[in-house]
Amino acid sequence: MISKSRSLFVALIATAAIAAPPGATPAAAQTKLKVVLNWKYQGPQGMFFLADDRGYFKAEGIEVQLDQGNGSGGVPALVGNGTYDVGFGDMNALIEMAAKKPDDAPVAVYVMYNQPPFAIAVKADGPIKTAKDLEGKSIGGPANDGALKLFPAFCKIAKIDCTGVKLSNMQPNLRENMLMQGQVDGTFGYVNTIRFSAKLAKIEESQIRYIKYSDYGMDLYSNVIIVPKKLAKEKPEVVKGFLRALNKGMQDSIKEPEASVASVAKREPLINLKLERERFDATFADEMNHPEIKKIGLGSVDEERLKRSIDIMVDALALPRSPAVSEVWNGSFLPPAAELPHKLF
- The count of C-alpha atoms lying within 13 angstroms of the C-alpha of 153, restricted to the half-sphere facing its C-beta, is 28
Judged against a pLDDT cut of 80, whether residue 144 lies above it is answered with: yes
CA-atom Rg of the chain in angstroms: 22
Q: What is the pLDDT of residue 7?
A: 47
Predicted model pTM: 0.88
Q: What is the mean pLDDT of residues 45-55?
A: 98
Q: What is the pLDDT of residue 282?
A: 97
Amino acid letter at 279?
R
Q: What is the pLDDT of residue 49?
A: 98
**Edge-to-edge strand ranges of the sheet holding 31-36:** 62-67, 31-36, 86-90, 223-227, 107-111
Hey, which residues does 223 pair with through a beta bridge? 90
Q: What is the pLDDT of residue 23?
A: 46
Residues 231 and 82: their CA atoms lie apart, in Å, by 10
**Three-state DSSP state, 181:** coil
Amino acid letter at 251?
Q
Categorize the per-residue pLDDT at 3 as very low, low, confident or very high, splitting at 50, 70 and 90. very low
Q: What is the pLDDT of residue 340?
A: 98
Q: What is the pLDDT of residue 264?
A: 98
Residues 305 and 122: their CA atoms lie apart, in Å, by 30
For 177-235, the pLDDT digits (tens) are: 999 999 999 999 999 999 999 999 999 999 999 999 999 999 999 999 999 999 999 99
Q: Which domains does the chain have, with CATH numbers?
A: 2-114+222-339 (3.40.190.10), 118-216 (3.40.190.10)
Q: What is the pLDDT of residue 30?
A: 81
Per DSSP, helices labelled H in the chain are 2-19, 46-53, 56-59, 75-80, 91-100, 146-149, 151-157, 175-180, 191-200, 229-234, 236-255, 257-267, 273-287, 293-296, 303-317, 325-328
Rounded mean pLDDT of the chain?
92
For 262-285, the pLDDT digits (tens) are: 999 999 999 999 999 999 999 999
Q: What is the mean pLDDT of residues 290-301?
A: 98
Nearest Cα neighbor of 48 from 68, 75, 27 is 68
Amino acid letter at 212?
K
CB 170 within 8 A of CB 148: no
Judged against a pLDDT cut of 50, whether residue 28 lies above it is answered with: no
**Three-state DSSP state, 34:** strand
Q: What is the pLDDT of residue 29?
A: 54
Residues 120 and 240: their CA atoms lie apart, in Å, by 36
CA dihedral 38, 112, 333, 94 (to 10 degrees): -50
Please count the residues of the chain: 345
**Three-state DSSP state, 239:** helix
Helices then strands (H, E): number in the chain? 16, 10
Q: Which residues, 6 or more positions from 263, have their beta carbon under 8 angstroms from its beta carbon?
A: 46, 49, 50, 52, 53
Q: What is the mean pLDDT of residues 154-179?
A: 95
CB atoms under 10 Å from CB of 8, counted, come to: 10
